[in-house]
């Protein structure tokens, strides 16, 4: 089976009703990155950060995958599909994709602020953590999210996966946050690269096939293209 590696970003979940970060009505228009997505923000105001991620989790209970996610899960019939997502939602898994790695963490997990390997699943319908919820060693639980300024532990694994791709599909990401954006450059010479996005990213290399569409329509088109592989 040919290896199809997918690098997805916030845009793939936009049609499910989750806002992207940098579009005009995006999350970073309403919140300051420094306040809710950095270790300094956490140190300054744990309540604000906890509330922000509680809201994100609550929203997750109300949304469903769209054809962007579903179409990629369907492709597992004919391809060895590996998803690398920058998203912290669980919509790829909900759609049925079986190999998903989350570069920037997962909303449905929390971890000890002191011992980063003490990671806990929140039960499916629990979305809140509170100040005072502690890990088994007595330290506050924090979101299991990679914040700006923190290392991206899965980046090497992701680069290795991209370096083995026959086909790479980059979907719904502005490619503005590194190191994730740099993964594109790990694709082998013969790998076909498709980029699905209604807007497009700056500095997209000219060897990338640009499908200027939203995720659902774009993945439909990708399925058609891949029929001939």
C-alpha distances in Å from residue 15, one per residue of 65, 91, 132, 143: 8, 11, 35, 25
104 is catalytic: yes
Nearest CA-CA partner of 66 in 223, 219, 224: 219
Rounded to a whole number of angstroms, the minimum distance from the CB of residue 107 to ligand APR is 12
Enumerate binding residues for ligand APR (CB under 6 A). Answer: 9-12, 14-15, 20-23, 26, 86, 104, 172-174, 176-177, 197-199, 214-215
Rounded to a whole number of angstroms, the minimum distance from the CB of residue 10 to ligand APR is 4
Complex with ligand APR: residue 58 or 212, whichever CB lies closer: 212
Rounded to a whole number of angstroms, the minimum distance from the CB of residue 65 to ligand APR is 13
Rounded to a whole number of angstroms, the minimum distance from the CB of residue 171 to ligand APR is 6
Which residue's Cβ has the minimum distance to ligand APR? 11
Which stretches of the chain are DSSP H helices? 27-30, 33-36, 39-44, 46-60, 67-74, 91-95, 155-163, 215-227
Q: Please state the length of the chain.
A: 229
Sheet containing 119-121: order of strands: 119-121, 105-112, 141-145
| Signed CA dihedral, 32, 151, 4, 195: sign only | positive
Complex with ligand APR: residue 16 or 135, whichever CB lies closer: 16
Write down the catalytic residue from 69, 92, 102, 104. 104
Complex with ligand APR: residue 80 or 177, whichever CB lies closer: 177
Complex with ligand APR: residue 68 or 110, whichever CB lies closer: 68
Query: What DSSP designation does 42 have?
Result: H
Nearest CA-CA partner of 97 in 109, 79, 119: 79
Query: Which residues are annotated as catalytic?
Result: 104
């Amino acid at each position: 089976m040919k290896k199809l590696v997918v690098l997805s970003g916030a845009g793939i979940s936009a049609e499910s009703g989750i806002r992207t970060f940098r579009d005009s009505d995006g999350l970073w228009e309403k919140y300051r990155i420094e306040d809710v997505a950095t270790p300094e923000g956490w140190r300054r105001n744990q309540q604000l950060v906890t509330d922000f991620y509680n809201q994100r989790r609550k929203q997750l209970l109300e949304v469903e995958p769209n054809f962007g996610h579903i179409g990629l899960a369907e492709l597992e019939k004919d391809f060895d599909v590996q998803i690398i997502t920058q998203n912290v939602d669980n919509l790829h898994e909900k759609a049925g994709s079986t190999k998903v790695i989350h570069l920037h963490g997962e909303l449905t997990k929390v971890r000890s602020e002191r011992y980063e390997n003490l990671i806990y699943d929140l039960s499916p319908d629990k979305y809140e953590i509170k100040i005072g919820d502690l890990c088994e060693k007595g330290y506050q639980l924090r979101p299991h999210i990679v914040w700006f300024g923190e290392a991206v532990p899965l980046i090497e694994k992701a680069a290795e996966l991209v370096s083995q791709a026959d086909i790479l599909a980059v979907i719904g990401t502005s490619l503005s946050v590194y190191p994730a954006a740099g993964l594109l450059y790990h694709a082998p010479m013969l790998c076909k690269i498709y980029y699905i996005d209604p807007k497009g990213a700056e500095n997209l290399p000219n060897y990338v096939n640009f499908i200027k569409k939203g995720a659902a329509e774009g993945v439909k088109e990708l399925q058609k293209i891949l029929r001939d592989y």
